[in-house]
Amino acid sequence: MKDRFDLLVFDWDGTLFDSVGWIVECLQLAASDCGLPVPSDMEARSVIGLGLKEAMEVLFPEYPAEMALRLAGCYRRYYSSKVIGADGLFAGVLDMLTELKQRGYRLAVATGKTRSGLNHALALTGTERLFDSTRCADETVSKPNPEMLLQLMSELGIDESRTLMVGDSLHDLRMARNAGVAAVGVGCGANDLAQLMELSPLLCIERTTDLLRFLN
């Protein structure tokens, strides 16, 4: 894959940041607090990568929008109660991003997080300086709609043939496919490698940092 791509777009949760277990726990706690059926670990993991509103609608489709908003607010309170920092990044991610930046790649994030949530995470992990642009679900359209990728490519002036999406969820890979962009699935987050391989990505890797040796 050397010299094939100019823009590398990363998902955040489960791809760069080790937060899937915490997200699952917060979704379950929010459901319990609201008196709703508590989703299983598998059910909770299945919505990671979606915007929060869309995730709540998938988990609890039979409840009115008002309940989805209440759930979302409760989830945010739980999620924000945990102090995060650079140690929350997967091992080697900070060095990987730094090396990719030094090699001349343009780097971006496309995430289901809110803008305020991503800005907070970037600042506390010291990674904000490494990304040329970012997109969040609450300022455009949730995955698997391709709009986040389309906006990033347009802003940075890079064609889809020179763009690679790196993500841990089926939603990431479907977004890439809908945008006509190649994708790499990583098995350290929401979906395992067997599930990711069903969507025929360009490559599946155990850890996001394994990407380095394929870009050499």
User: What pTM was estimated for this model as a whole?
Assistant: 0.94
Q: Tokens standing for 49?
A: 């990568």
Q: Tokens standing for 127?
A: 């990674």
Could you tell me if 76 and 98 lie in one domain?
no
Q: How does pLDDT run across 34-80, given as a tens digit for each residue?
A: 998 999 999 999 999 888 888 888 888 887 777 878 888 899 899 88
Could you tell me if 29 and 98 lie in one domain?
no
CA atoms within 13 A on the CB side of 176: 33
Rounded CA separation 173/121 (Å):
23
Of 80, 102, 131, the position where a domain reaches its end is 80
Could you tell me if 130 and 167 lie in one domain?
yes
Which CATH number characterizes residue 135's domain? 3.40.50.1000
Of 55, 80, 105, the position where a domain reaches its end is 80
CA dist 167 → 47, 72, 105, 112, 139 (Å): 14, 23, 17, 12, 20
Low-confidence ranges of the chain (pLDDT < 50): none
List the catalytic residues.
Answer: 11, 13
> What is the separation of C-alpha 181 from the centre of its chain, rounded to a whole number of angstroms?
16
Rounded CA separation 195/215 (Å):
24
Q: Tally the domains of the chain.
A: 2
Which CATH number characterizes residue 66's domain? 1.10.150
Residue written as token pair 């969507």: 199
